[in-house]
Amino acid sequence: MEKEPPKDGFFRILYLLGNFPGKMILINVVFLLSCLPIVTIPAAHSAMSAFVGKMYRDGFDFSLDNYKREFSGRLWKQLPLGLFSAAIIFYGYYLMSLAGNFKNVGDTTTHGLLLGCGGVFFCVGLLLNVWISVLSATLELKNHDILKNAAILFLIEWKRSAGILITSVIFLFLTFTFLPYSLILLLLIEAVLYWLICYELIDPVIQERIVKPYEDLRKGECP
């Protein structure tokens, strides 16, 4: 009797990577290419979230044409949301860079304050970007509703957000520590693996807090 594949969790991710390596590598490369120029990054993130979501739920039946359609359909819609989260990330980076000037003149108090504030803004922008991308790929909502839900969920589901943040730090650390060798993994599998993990962390929250209550409400309205 054939063993049923895992439906969720870490072993689900391993199952997908082990059974669909060619498709994963292909989409990883296409994702990196679709991030050029940088204004297309928000749409690429959302399209990647849609891809990994379909693969995570069904394990198949999501082709390159599907990715292209998701990408082109979200290109302009995702841009304002992407610019918003990118502005927060950039402001955090700016504050952390500015902190270095005060360290050079011996002002450790201002240095620590700016460094801490910059780190908070950077992390908030990064988390909002991930929540926004997965929400946009999963739900057909207007941008202000996507942003509102992302802001609420990333706060109240702080354990999930912490998991995303830890995952992001690990990926960034490994990528920059092992340059240039890590570029091989970045090209082949790193991006799709990162978004698979983020999707696995976020999708249960979306299903429990948004999709299920909405479906229950619709059932209650039906005679």
Q: How long a stretch of residues is the chain?
A: 223
Whose CA is closest to 207, among 219, 217, 215?
215
Residue ranges of the domains in the chain? 9-210
Whose CA is closest to 53, among 198, 191, 162?
198
- Mean per-residue pLDDT, 127-152: 92
Instruction: Render pLDDT for 63-89 as a digit per residue (tens, 0 to 9).
Output: 778 788 888 888 888 889 999 999 999
- Mean per-residue pLDDT, 149-176: 94
State the pTM of this model: 0.90
